[in-house]
């Protein structure tokens, strides 16, 4: 049985295929770069390590990935600090409004 020839997609034919698939799926067009950025952001939000993201994105240096996605990391850090604060306040028997802990980030 003869296998069908596989055709490489590139340039215009790749874009045409992308547009066709998006239209058939009822989805709006999104630039490939935006899709790549959104995927990396979602991976970070799900706890995937920055080094793993660096490798998936093909960045040569971790500093590039850290710089581009710093906004995500800062948001995740704030969420982590809030979670610690909630955990500490829920176990605190006193009901005074003084903080149970202070978290200091040193850069």
For the stretch 35-44, pLDDT in tens is 889 999 999 9
Q: Give 14-63 as a DSSP string.
A: HHHHHHHHHHHHT-----HHHHHHHHHHHHHHTT--HHHHHHHHT-SSHH
The domain limits of the chain are 15-91
Q: Does the pLDDT value for residue 8 go beyond 80?
A: no
pLDDT, one tens digit per residue, over 54-97 is 999 999 999 999 999 999 989 989 999 999 999 888 765 555 55
Tokens of 32: 């490939």
- Average pLDDT of the segment spanning 9-21: 79
pTM over 0.95: no
Percentage, residues of the chain above pLDDT 90: 41
């Amino acid at each position: 049985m003869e296998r069908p020839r596989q055709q490489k997609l590139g340039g215009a034919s790749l874009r045409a295929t992308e547009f066709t698939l998006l239209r058939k799926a009822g989805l709006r067009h999104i630039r490939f770069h935006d899709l790549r950025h959104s995927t990396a952001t979602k991976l970070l939000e799900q706890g995937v390590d920055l080094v793993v993201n660096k490798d998936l994105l093909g960045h040569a240096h971790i500093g590039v990935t850290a710089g581009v996605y710093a906004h995500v990391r800062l948001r995740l850090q704030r969420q982590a600090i809030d979670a610690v604060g909630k955990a500490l306040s829920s176990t605190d028997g006193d009901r005074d409004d003084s903080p149970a802990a202070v978290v200091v980030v040193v850069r």
